[in-house]
Amino acid sequence: DTGVSQDPRHKITKRGQNVTFRCDPISEHNRLYWYRQTLGQGPEFLTYFQNEAQLEKSRLLSDRFSAERPKGSFSTLEIQRTEQGDSAMYLCASSQQGLAGGEQFFGPGTRLTVL
Q: Does 49 bind another protein (CB under 8 A)?
A: no
At its nearest, how many Å lie between another protein and the CB of residue 100?
5
Q: Which of 2, 28, 84, 103 binds another protein (CB under 8 A)?
A: 103
Q: Which of 75, 88, 90, 107 binds another protein (CB under 8 A)?
A: 107
In 3D space, the residue among 112, 42, 47 whose CA is nearest the CA of residue 75 turns out to be 47
Q: Does 102 bind another protein (CB under 8 A)?
A: yes
Q: Tell me the HSE value of 7 on the side-chain side, using a 13 A CA sphere.
A: 6
Q: Does 33 bind another protein (CB under 8 A)?
A: yes
* Residue 32 and residue 97 in contact, taking contact as beta carbons nearer than 8 Å: no
In 3D space, the residue among 63, 98, 68 whose CA is nearest the CA of residue 80 turns out to be 63
List residues binding another protein (CB under 8 A): 33, 35, 40-45, 48, 55-56, 91, 100-109
